Amino acid sequence: MARFIFASAVYLLIGLIVILPVVLVFVMAFSHGLATALATFADPDALSAIRLTVIMTVLTVAINTVFGVMAAWTLSRFRFPGRGALIVLIELPLSVSPVVGGLVWLLVFGTQGWWGAALERWGYPVMFAPPGILLATVFVTFPYVTRTLMPVMIHNGREGEDAAVLLGAGLWQILWHVTLPGARLALLSGVLLTTARAMGEFGAVSVVSGHIPGLTETIPLHIETLYNGYQTVAAFTMAGLLAIMAMLVVTARTLIERRAGARGLIA
Amino acid sequence: MVTKTRLTRRGLLQATLAGGAALALRPTRAWAATGLLNVSYDPTRELYQDIDRSFSRFWAEGHGGAPVQIRTSHGGSGAQARSVLEGAPADIVTLGLAYDIDILAQNGLLATNWQTRLPHNSTPFTSTIVFLVRKGNPKNIHDWPDLIRDGVQVITPNPKTSGGARWNYLAAWGWALNQPGGSADSARAYLKKLFTHVPVLDTGARGATNSFVQRGLGDVLLAWEDEALLATREIGPDQFDIVVPPVTILAEPPVAVVDRNAQAHGTTEIAQAYVQYLFSDAGQKIGAKHYFRPVTPAILAENRDRFPAVHTFDIASLGGWTKVQKEHFADGGIFDSIYTK
Amino acid sequence: MSVHLDHIIRVSPQNGRPIVNDVSLTVEDGSFTALVGPSGAGKTSLLRVIAGLDGHQGGTVSIDGARVDNVNARDRNIGFVFQHYALFAHMTVAANIGFGLSIRPRRSRPGRAEIERRVAELLELMQLSGMGSRYPHELSGGQRQRVALARALATEPRVLLLDEPFGALDPVVRRQIRGWLRDLHERLGLTTILVTHDRQEATELADTIALMRHGRVVQTGTAQQLEDTPADPFVMEFTGDVIRIPGRIDRGLFVADMPDIRAFAANAADGRGEVLIRPADIRLLPDAGSAMAWLRQTRGMIGTYDFTTGTQTLRFETVIPAGAAPIIVNCALDISAGRIAQGDGWIERQETGVAQPATPQSTGP
């Protein structure tokens, strides 16, 4: 009985908080019919936003995968002074507001900031241009790969790596052939988490983007612009697209974790 | 066996990184040479969409048919000015109030005498602050004192970030100051009371309009006249009424070419053509169509039915933007004192 | 290949306490040596120092007379089998075994066919033929064990180190693998060092046993040597069943606290002491005292006795005295074949001179 009540409560909550809004997004998107919704994608600014989002996501994932693997490996394998502080620092982006994540870059690269004026003079503006968006997105999604990888690396232990050393493997060979494949499901999971977050990031990107339609607007920013421009159908169609992209990623992640769970590869 | 997989995986990774980096790091100059960026404030989305199209045609006709790509970004006037200050590559700024452009001038982005370079203090369209109420005016709101009656909720954005909000605030301030026996103290008391009736402070005028129109918050929206007209005529006909208070402020949102950016992008000529176009008959008509009051008397006269005569005072009567900004909106100014306490 | 350890010291990186404390040990070429001792004795740590996986803070490690202290683990060419096998879960059995060969730099790497041949050879040697394409999680514990061994042997190491290799196996498999391993050691002419906490395993497999405790090697020798001449009470207890009989030294005699145990000569200073004796060395002396010994069980010549005197009972297995009845009344015990311990050391029992405790340690109250 208690189980029934709790299950119902959970269903109700998830229904109200998660499912209903997503359903409403699609209801709004198709409120004037499929053709009107699809017309959204005829707008070059919309296509540009999609393209920018995809590029930023791919790059963010690539960068954070490399950094995340390095960080997770270093932190799970070696004991060194300041290790604890480093773990806290890596998690910092999880705890600070994304707006702060954007503002810090503005402080560094804005023309009022440290290097911004010089960079702009050389023709490489960082802020209000894709590189700034990349920096902000990388900052916000920095912890995910490290945080999913580290526990698995610690759980997998050192024996496999020790065995590889004794068989003559070097550092890179160990990382590439032993450590990473041993944690590949966690890695994939972290990568997908990064992907989902990078696609949807609004706050940090909003600060550094300048909201220039067709140039520096990612999908979330473009949704806001459309909504503020009273283009409700287009706004919700883009939101629906983003929701579908996110759901695909989350589904992939769930499948991977289920597979991993079945094989006992994730503790 | 191990080697083979390594090569393909590594190759893939490198290709992704290199390709992506090339795309992302491509300097933005490439577009700037043929494009124009207008950094504008919130309620001008529809206006500049129209102007951009029309100007682009006009420019193409006069310049051998070369198409020009004009992009306009929108947001709270203060926030937009801040972006330009931090490096947003605006060739033109069309902001909610002169002070925001003054800031850019003070930082060397354009000449400090910018306001004298175009007619009418560089203000192609004026507007005013009106009340937007629910259809039939159920709360019976007609004048500034009605806003602070019990049970009236007022929607206005945050004057710290929104130019429109500053106009709203100053319209109220000017009215209170000019009441019989009015003083800075009585005006302050009125505004303090007024802001207790504000349930949310959006960052921009458009956000506030959305709160009132789409989300149904509040009984009265303090709005740009153009924003209010847009809402009544196009967003929700038969849902709203406009109430023009007996006395309100003359809002003068100015425009300027951002000299330094335009020079860097090589767009000075086209940028100047763009701002001048706003004062042309074609530009003035588009403004009127989007509910901005044209400064050209003839075109204003043509649109008399849209723009009722109002009794206004201007910013100069309050001492000008620099003084007003310092007294009211700077940190520790009057707005801080009435809003936090 | 011989392995020589000279005064090796390794301290814990966590708390700075010694884990391996001044260990010197020589493992002869072709020998099978077991490092035995209770858990926490430092056996595995010593093995990791030999392999180069852990560093040491003092002493030297030499292989075949050459110091390897500054040689990286990856270049020592040592085969190592881990307690939990440490197989690469994402690789097939064949890939696991061939790993050490396939990661070699191009110029010293055998061709693919050569690696496959070598893997097949090892699979056969390990009685795993046909299992090359399986994954570790599809194998039994014993099979995984042999894959780990094959992987360690694939690079033709100079020395094979085994860390508790049978710990996770069930007893039947364990016994089978033991004989097979010893056989392999002989056939391949390996120099093998085995870490185990199981005395029987060490006895069965190794030529030489090094018994460790608290980071030190307490005694080195054959199983028989350790059992017959244990260096201290710990070794004696570790190498076989021991009965402890407390008592005191009184004017050159050991007098047990229990009555009806015959005192015997102990040339040591007066004080507390304890006799440690293998049960089989205990003699029952009929008609020599007032105790009663009751034969509870017999197994051939050996009987389990409950020796009762006053309110105390001692149970032990020993040789049944000729012609004794199941219940021997009025008997006494002769324990003079035992060793007298004081603290951690023996009391010397030379016939001449005054006996001294083997270690300078005060006797208990």
Size of chain C in residues: 365
- Residue C360, domain member (yes or no): no
Q: Are residues A119 and A219 in the same domain?
A: yes
Beta bridge partners of C33: C193, C208
Q: Which pLDDT belongs to residue A260?
A: 66
Report the chain C residue with the minimal C-alpha distance to residue A172: C103
Which residues in chain B touch residue A110, judged by CB atoms under 8 angstroms apart? 85-87
Q: What is the crossing angle of helices A83-95 and A44-77, to 10°?
A: 160
User: How far off is chain A from C202, nearest CA to CA, in Å?
Assistant: 24
Contact list, A188 vs chain B (CB under 8 Å): none
What residues in B contact A225, CB-CB < 8 Å? 74
Same structural domain for residues A150 and A221?
yes
Alpha helices in A78-210 (DSSP H): 83-95, 98-109, 116-121, 130-156, 159-166, 171-174, 180-182, 184-200, 203-209
| Nearest chain B CA: its distance from A153 CA (Å) | 21
> Cβ contact (<8 Å) for B24 and A55?
yes
C163, part of any domain: yes
Lowest mean pLDDT among C161-175, C187-201, C337-351: C337-351
Same domain flag for C82 and C226: yes
Selecting from B2, B73, B86 the residue whose C-beta is nearest the C-beta of A212 gives B73
Mean pLDDT value of segment B175-204? 91
A265 contacts C82? CB cut-off 8 A? no
Say whether both A215 and A110 belong to one domain.
yes
Query: Cβ contacts (< 8 Å) between A182 and chain C: which residues?
Result: 88-90
User: Hey, what's the torsion of the CAs at B296, B298, B302, B306, to 10 degrees?
Assistant: 30
Neighbours, chain A (3 or more CB pairs < 8 A): B, C
Task: Return the CATH number of B29-123+253-302, one of 3.40.50.150, 3.40.640.10, 3.40.50.1820, 3.40.190.10.
Answer: 3.40.190.10
CA–CA min distance A36, chain C (Å): 50
- For residue B6, which residues of chain A lie inside 8 Å, CB to CB? 176-177
With respect to residue A111, please indicate whether it lies within any of the assigned structural domains.
yes
B1 with C102: Cβ contact below 8 A: yes
Return d(Cα B270, Cα B282) in angstroms, integer: 17
Backbone angles phi, psi at B39, to 5 degrees: -95, 115
Percent of chain C scored above 90 by pLDDT? Answer: 47
* List of chain A residues whose C-beta atoms are within 8 Å of the C-beta of residue C80: 162-163, 166
Give the model confidence (pLDDT) of B37-74 as tens digits.
999 998 898 899 999 999 999 988 887 767 788 999 99
pLDDT of B14 reads 52
Q: Do A76 and A3 belong together in one domain? A: no
Q: What is the pLDDT along chain A (267 residues), one digit of tens a residue?
A: 788 888 899 989 888 888 888 898 999 899 888 888 888 898 888 999 999 999 999 999 999 999 999 999 999 888 888 888 988 888 888 888 888 888 888 888 887 777 767 776 677 778 888 989 999 999 999 999 999 999 999 888 888 999 999 999 998 999 999 999 888 888 998 999 999 999 999 989 988 888 888 889 999 999 988 888 878 889 999 999 999 999 999 888 888 878 766 654 443
Q: From A185, which residue of chain C is nearest by alpha-carbon distance?
A: C90
**Of the residues C204, C238, C272, which one is the last residue of a structural domain?**
C238
For C215, the token pair is 């980071």
pLDDT of B31: 40
Mean pLDDT of the region C295-299: 89
**Pick from A142, A258, A231: nearest CA to A193:** A142
Is there a single domain that holds both residue A137 and residue A166?
yes
Whether A56 and B207 lie within 8 Å, measured CB to CB? no
Which residues in chain C are contacts of A81 at CB distance < 8 A? none
Residue B177 CA: distances (Å) to CA of B186, B187, C82: 7, 5, 87
Q: Which residues contact B246 (CB under 8 A, 6 or more apart)?
A: B143, B311
Distances in whole angstroms, Cα of residue C65 to Cα of each of C1, C7, C62, C290: 9, 15, 5, 63
Token couple for A98 = 């994304």
Instruction: Please answer whether residues B211 and B224 qualify as being in contact, where contact means their C-beta atoms are separated by less than 8 angstroms.
Output: no
Distance CA C7, CA C70 (A): 16
Instruction: Answer whether C116 touches B (CB < 8 Å).
Output: no
pLDDT of amino acid A105 = 85
Domain boundaries, chain B: 29-123+253-302, 126-251+310-340
Q: Are residues A24 and A98 in the same domain?
A: no
Question: In Å, how far is C315's CA from the nearest CA of chain A?
Answer: 45
Question: Confidence band (pLDDT; 50, 70, 90) for C211?
Answer: very high
List beta partners, residue C11. C18
The answer on C214 and C257 residing in a single domain is no
Cβ distance C88 to A170 less than 8 Å, yes or no, reads no
Average pLDDT, chain C: 88
In this prediction, residues B138-155 reach a mean pLDDT of 93
**Sign of the Cα pseudo-torsion (B168, B172, B178, B182, in order):** negative
Q: Measured between CB atoms, does B1 come within 8 Å of chain C?
A: yes
Q: Judge: A227–B210 Cβ closer than 8 Å, yes or no.
A: yes
Find the helix or strand (DSSP H, E) in which A57 lies: helix A44-77
Q: Is residue C361 part of a domain?
A: no
What domain count does chain C have? Answer: 2
Strands (E), B205-253: 220-224, 240-243, 247-251
Q: Note whether A162 contacts C82, CB cutoff 8 Å.
A: yes
Q: Compute the distance between CA of residue B198 and CA of residue B43 in angstroms, rounded to an integer.
A: 20
**Confidence check: pLDDT of B23 > 70:** no
Whether A127 is covered by a domain: the verdict is yes
Cα-flanking dihedrals φ and ψ of residue A254, to 5°?
-60, -45
- Residues C216, C245, single domain; the answer is no
C 86-125 near A (Cβ less than 8 A): 86-91, 99-100, 103-104
- Chain A, nearest residue to B1 by Cα: A177
Residues A100 and A2 in one domain: no
Buried b (16+ CB within 10 A) or exposed e, B90-112: bbbbbbbbbbbbbbbbeeebbee
- Sign for the CA dihedral angle at A192, A196, A199, A203 comes to negative
The pLDDT of residue C268 is 82
For residues A167 and A236, state if they share a domain.
Answer: yes
Same domain, A50 and A146: yes
Cα separation, B210 vs B25, whole angstroms: 36
What is the rounded CA–CA span in Å between residue C217 and residue C209? 10
Residue C307's alpha-carbon distances to C293, C294, C328, in angstroms, are 4, 6, 9
Regarding whether A93 and A11 lie in a shared domain, the answer is no
Level-2 CATH architecture, domain B126-251+310-340 = 3-Layer(aba) Sandwich (3.40)
Q: Token pair for residue B143?
A: 């004048």
Tokens of C281: 């060395």
- C94-111 mean pLDDT: 92
Nearest residue in chain B measured CA to CA from A175: B6
DSSP category for residue B178: T
Pick from A159, A169, A182: CB nearest C90? A182
Beta carbons of A163 and C86 less than 8 angstroms apart: yes
H or E, element range at C277? strand C271-277
The mean pLDDT of C102-114, rounded to a whole number, is 90
Whether the per-residue pLDDT at B8 is higher than 70: the answer is no
The answer to whether residue A36 sits within a structural domain is no
Question: Cβ contact (<8 Å) for A177 and C88?
Answer: yes
- Cβ of residue C66 closer than 8 Å to a chain A Cβ: no
* Contacting residues of B for C98, CB less than 8 Å apart: 1
Distance from CA of C118 to the nearest CA of B (A): 15
Average pLDDT over residues C344-356: 58
Q: Check residue B5 and give its pLDDT.
A: 40
In DSSP terms, B255 is beta-bridged to: B94
Give the closest residue to C251 by CA, choosing from C235, C241, C265: C265
CA atoms C354, C356, C362, C365: torsion sign: negative
State the Cα–Cα distance between residues C267 and C261, nearest whole angstrom: 18
Same structural domain, C208 and C295: no
What distance in Å separates the CA atoms of residue B173 and residue B193, rounded to the nearest whole number?
A: 12
For the stretch B293-340, pLDDT in tens is 999 999 999 998 888 888 999 998 999 888 999 999 988 889 988 886
Mean pLDDT of the B206-220 span? 89
* pLDDT > 70? residue C360: no
User: Which residues 3-62 in chain B show a CB within 8 A of chain C?
Assistant: 3
Percent of chain B with pLDDT over 90: 55
What's the whole-model pTM score? 0.76
The bridge status of strand C339-342 relative to strand C312-319 is unpaired
My answer on whether A54 and A113 are in the same domain is: yes
In a domain, C362, yes or no: no
Tell me if C365 is assigned to some domain: no
Q: Phi, psi (5° rounding) for residue A127?
A: -75, 155
Query: C88, C97, C135, C145: which to substitute to probe chain A, counting the most A Cβ within 10 Å?
Result: C88
Instruction: Provide the number of structural domains found in chain A.
Output: 2
Q: Distance from A90 to chain C by nearest Cα, in Å? A: 25
Contact A170 C74 (CB under 8 A): yes
Q: Is C356 among the domain residues? A: no
Query: Which pLDDT does position A262 carry in this prediction?
Result: 60
Contact B24 A131 (CB under 8 A): yes
- Position A50 scores a pLDDT of 95
Cβ atoms of C163 and C195 within 8 Å: the answer is: yes
Examine the domain organization and report whether C150 and C76 are in the same domain.
yes
Whether A145 is in a domain gets the answer yes
Domain of C168, in residue numbers? 3-238
Decide if B73 and A214 are in contact by the 8 Å CB cutoff: no
Q: Does any domain span residue A238?
A: yes
Instruction: Tell me how many residue pairs between chain A and chain C have CB atoms under 8 A apart.
Output: 68
Does A81 reach chain C within 8 Å, measured CB to CB?
no
Of A163, A181, A182, the CB nearest to C82: A163
Domain that holds residue A97: 41-262
